[in-house]
Amino acid sequence: MPNNENLTVTTDTVIVGAGFAGLGMGIKLKRSGFDDFVIIERESDLGGAWRDNTYPGVACDVPSHVYSYSFRTNPHWSRVRAPGSEILEYLRTCAREEGLLSYLRFDAPMDRATWDQDSGRWIVETPSVTYSARFLVTACGHLADEKLPDLPGVDSFAGEYFHSARWNHEVSLEGKRIALIGSGASAIQLLPELAKVGSEVVVFQRSPAYIMPSPNPVYSEADQRLFERSPDTLRALRTETFWTAEANFAARRGVPKYLEAGRKIPLGHLDRSVSDPELKAKLTPDYELGCKRLLGSDLYYPALQQDHVTLEASALARIDGSRVISAAGNSFEVDVVVFATGFEAAEPVFANVVYGRDGLQLAESWSQGMTAYASNTTHGFPNLFIMNGPNTSSGHNSAIYILEAQMDYILGAVTFAEEEGAHVLEVTSEAEAEYVADVRQRSEGTVWLDGGCRNWYVDRRTGALTLIWPDFMHAFRELNATFEPDAYSIDTPVAAPSVSVG
């Protein structure tokens, strides 16, 4: 029960998080006539990853025409992979035009959510309002809580340092000596921009990435007009882009001939782009293709070869005053350190504040790694739906496709509860265990487990693949987009809610 004495508001559904998942869920509920919900967001704006990541060069790396809602296509993407600001604007437009703004509650972090067995409701505490809700949908993101390495000496650093997801726009980088920590998806977008302004840039690379050629052509006004006038053309482009990406799963599955063919593309790109054998060796991965996220850039290798840019093929080990020192023992004097060091993904932060039946903490329940039935619901946590949680990340296609399947599942559950008068839905432990066993079986032999790298898709406590969906994306939809009540124990009513918001 709430331990603060603030206002209590009763609503049907609380959605936590206003990124692609939470906003899309709101749109789906509203369009289906379920308008008794709120979307609580800890920040003071919507947009999730695209609000937080404002670093120079930020863009999606999956084509925008699939990295957008199927139910709100956008004919006006400026290029194949749109910049982050455009994606944020797209989400703003969706929220405004779908009439979602009045459902959003900003500066409202979910401090604690507790299942109240007596009323069969979630008690969701935020600093100023406590919500009593029948359903709780967590849409807190899996790349939302940035990870800073625990580095000796960081407090002694004389200059400025920040994470790529919390860009400090107050700091001018013009003429500065910059250390870029990391060589993953954000770092390869950042380096070309940092190299334009910095007097010296040193990149700390723990392990190199496979990088595909990635031309990013603009869509002309004529293209955009065509997409606007001919939704069929746009739909056909979406379909083609989706299925082209789907084909890449065969390599992730570990099928040798696809791996061999797939490897040739990034290694050929490296070969054509870098002539210095020593640098090429440092940039050649020693693990299997796709084990870590496969990246795309035409700008990274040229940026890396500029005279004022240095690749330090070693992790950053410590900081001493204005010097950053690698594990290999090399030291560089810098003014600014940019950490492109990723996010807390496999052990989601929100799970620390969610308490289910009998006071069970979600983080505790997941102490051996995240699990859920249909990658969505988990035993002991009735009426809780988890978006972008266990086995929902995509290693080869658009995240939005998975999120939309999850929205349909949740909408199905809410509709079922409404039509059948079901008040409490709790997935059985047997159904969850069976699903998890199936996912584990699909994971076997994939490059994420057998590819010889350390990646963030695997739970470090157990070695299980808990983040990525280890199959084709369309298989996720086939399996997980339709609510099947058979997997649930179902309770009917307790006290009816009294006040509504929306």
Among 10, 53, 383, 391, binds ligand FAD (CB under 6 A): 53
Asked whether the beta carbons of 161 and 339 are under 8 A apart, the reply is yes
Nearest-angstrom CA–CA distance, 502 and 490: 26
Pick 132 or 326: Cβ nearer ligand FAD:
132
Residue from 383, 466, 468 nearest 425 by CA = 383
- For residue 58, the minimal CB distance to ligand FAD (Å) is 6
Q: Does 62 bind ligand FAD (CB under 6 A)?
A: yes
CB of 351 to ligand FAD, least distance (A): 10
Q: Which tokens sit at 86?
A: 């455009």
| Minimum gap (Å) between residue 345 Cβ and ligand FAD | 9
Among 95, 340, 399, 487, binds ligand FAD (CB under 6 A): 399
Q: How many residues bind ligand FAD (CB under 6 A)?
A: 33
* 500 in Cβ contact with 36 (< 8 Å): yes
User: Shortest Cβ distance from residue 130 to ligand FAD (Å)?
Assistant: 14
Separation in Å, CA 231 to CA 65, 68, 227, 460: 12, 15, 6, 45
In the complex with ligand FAD, the residue whose CB is nearer, 55 or 332, is 55
CB of 308 to ligand FAD, least distance (A): 25
First and final C-alpha spacing in the chain: 23
How many angstroms from the chain centroid is the CA of residue 13? 22
Q: Which is nearer to ligand FAD, 80 or 144 (CB)?
A: 144
DSSP label at 263? H
In the complex with ligand FAD, the residue whose CB is nearer, 165 or 431, is 165
Q: What is the smallest separation between the CB atom of 91 and ligand FAD, expressed in angstroms?
A: 9
The whole-angstrom separation of Cα 345 and Cα 142 is: 5
| Site map (CB under 6 A) of ligand FAD, residues 7-46, x = contact | ---------xxxxxxx-----------------xxxx---
CA 327, CA 340: separation in Å to the nearest integer?
Answer: 17
**Bridge partner residues of 83 (DSSP):** 59
Contacts of 317 (CB under 8 A, 6+ apart): 151, 152, 325, 326, 327
CA atoms within 13 A on the CB side of 26: 32
464 closest CA partner among 481, 448, 479: 448
Q: Applying CB under 6 A, which part among 47-55, 329-337, 371-379, 446-454 lies near ligand FAD?
A: 47-55
How far apart, in whole angstroms, are the C-alpha atoms of residue 181 and residue 172? 18
Q: Which of 282, 265, 288 is nearest to 211 (CA)?
A: 265
Nearer to ligand FAD, 140 or 436 (CB): 140
Query: DSSP letters along 320-372, please?
Result: ETTEEEETTS-EEE-SEEEE---B--SS-GGGGGEE-GGG-BHHHHTTT----
Segment 443 to 462, residues that bind ligand FAD, using CB under 6 A = none
- Please report how close the Cβ of residue 379 comes to ligand FAD at its closest, in angstroms: 22
Q: How far is C-alpha 431 from the chain's CA centre?
A: 26
Name the residue nearer to ligand FAD (CB basis): 42 or 379: 42
Nearer of residues 143 and 374 to ligand FAD, judged by Cβ: 143
Which tokens is 98 given? 């779908």
Q: What is the nearest approach in angstroms of ligand FAD to the Cβ of residue 263?
A: 22
Calculate the CA 441 to chain-centre distance: 24
Binding ligand FAD by CB under 6 A: which of 37, 90, 301, 350?
350
Candidates 61, 116, 246, 298; binder of ligand FAD (CB under 6 A) is 61
Binding residue for ligand FAD, selected from 9, 14, 29, 49, defined by CB under 6 A: 49
Q: Is 103 in the site for ligand FAD (CB under 6 A)?
A: no
Instruction: State the minimum distance, in angstroms, from the CB of residue 403 to ligand FAD.
Output: 6
C-beta of 176: minimal distance to ligand FAD in Å?
Answer: 22
Q: Using CB under 6 A, pick the residue from 2, 75, 109, 302 that binds ligand FAD.
A: 109
Which residue of 27, 38, 58, 274 would you call a contact of ligand FAD, by CB under 6 A? Answer: 58
Phi, psi of 232 (to 5 degrees): -65, -40
Q: Which stretch binds ligand FAD (CB under 6 A): 48-56, 331-339, 419-427, 455-463?
A: 48-56
Site for ligand FAD in 139-198 (CB under 6 A): 139-141, 143-144, 186
43 or 160: CB nearest ligand FAD: 43
C-alpha dihedral, 85 to 86 to 89 to 91, nearest 10° = -110
CB 296, CB 212: distance < 8 Å: yes
- Which residue, 20 or 385, is less far from ligand FAD as judged by CB? 20
Of 144, 148, 146, give the one whose Cα is nearest residue 109.
144
Nearer to ligand FAD, 68 or 326 (CB): 68
Tokens linked to 102: 């009045």
- With CB under 6 A as the contact rule, the residue among 88, 94, 110, 313 that binds ligand FAD is 110
* Residue 51 CB, nearest approach to ligand FAD (Å): 6
253: tokens are 């599955």
Question: Which one of residues 60, 94, 334, 464 is an interface residue with ligand FAD (CB under 6 A)?
Answer: 60
Nearer to ligand FAD, 216 or 330 (CB): 216
Q: Where are the beta strands (DSSP E) in 152-213?
A: 160-163, 177-181, 200-204, 211-212
Report the interface residues with ligand FAD, using CB under 6 A. 16-22, 40-43, 48-49, 53, 58, 60-62, 67, 109-110, 139-141, 143-144, 186, 350, 387-388, 394, 398-399
